[in-house]
Amino acid sequence: MLDIRHANQRGRAEHGWLSSRHTFSFASYHDPKQNGFSDLLVINDDRVAPAQGFGKHPHRDMEIFSYVLEGTLEHKDTMGTGSVIVPGDIQLMSAGTGVAHSEYNHSKTDPVHFMQIWIAPSKSGAAPRYQQRHFSAEDKRGVLRLVMSPDGADGSLELQQDARVYAGLFDGDETARLELGSERYAYVHVARGSVMVNGVEFSEGDGARVRDEKSLTFTQGHDAEVLVFDLRNIETSALWA
C-alpha cells in the first residue's frame, strides 16, 4: 500500500532567507498524524538565500544527513569538520553524545537547495562522527544506488540504524526495481521531477509511506531524482513508548 502525501500537504515555513517544506512535524509545524515514519523522523526541503544559513546549534542522538540538489552548502561543526557540499555529495553527521554545527549557503550570489533528513539511531550515547561521500549522476542514472546502510555496503555511508537509503535519477525509459524484505516498510520521496512508482504518478515534493509491498518499481521518469528509505516495520510512536 502506498499512503501518498502530496507536496502541497507539507508544512511550510517562510523566513525571508529560508523557504522550507516539512514532510513531517518539525519546529513550529506540528501535525499529530505526521510525526515521522518508522525511524525516519524529518524530511526538510530547504532553499536558503545567498550567504545565509543556520547558525551554530546543538544536536544529540540523531543521524542527520544533507543532500544537496542545487548550489553549495558550507558545513562546520564542533568535531573540527569543515566542508563544502555540492550536488552529488551526501553528508552524514551522527550527533551521538552531542555536537553543534552550522550550515550556510556557501555562495554570495546563488541560492542553495538541499534536503536535511533525520533518522533515529539504534542506540543513544555513541561517539559523534562525520562522513561525506560523492555519488555522481552516473552512479544514480536509471538505478537505485545504495548511499547509506548499517554496514557501509557497496561504498555507502555507514548509518547507525537498521535502515538503507537509495538515490536514483530517472528519465524516459529508465526503469528500476527495489525488492523489499519481508515485513519491511519503505518511504519514497521525489526530490524533483516526476516519476511513476508502482504505476502511480509522483511529482516533485510528493512522498509515500509504503507498507505491505513486496517491491517498488520506478518508471516513466521526467528529470526525476528520488530517495527511497528501506525501514523497520514499526510505527514512529513505538520509538517513544
User: Does 59 appear as a known binding residue?
Assistant: yes
Total residues belonging to the chain: 241
User: Does 101 appear as a known binding residue?
Assistant: yes
Count the Cβ atoms, other than its own, within 10 Å of residue 33.
7
CA distance from start to end of the chain: 25
Residue 208: burial class (beta carbons within 10 Å; 0-12, 13-18, 19+) = buried
The pTM assigned to this predicted structure is 0.95
Return the closest-CA partner of residue 162 out of 125, 120, 129, 128: 120
* Residues 190, 228: Cα–Cα separation, whole Å: 9
Burial state string for 6-32 with b = 16 or more CB within 10 A and e = fewer than 16: eeeebbeeeeeebbbbbbbbbeebeee
Instruction: Answer whether residue 236 shows pLDDT above 90.
Output: no
Task: Report the percent of the chain where pLDDT is more than 70.
Answer: 98
pLDDT at 238 (0 to 100): 46
Place of cell 520509538: 239
Task: Report the percent of the chain where pLDDT is more than 90.
Answer: 96
Q: Kind of pairing, strands 157-158 and 145-149? A: parallel
Q: What's the pLDDT tens digit per position in 112-171? A: 999 999 999 999 999 999 999 999 999 999 999 999 999 999 999 999 999 999 999 999
pLDDT at 45 (0 to 100): 98
- Hey, is 139 helix, strand or coil? helix
Q: What is the mean pLDDT of residues 19-45?
A: 95
Name the average pLDDT for the chain: 95
| Structural domains present in the chain | 2-240 (2.60.120.10)
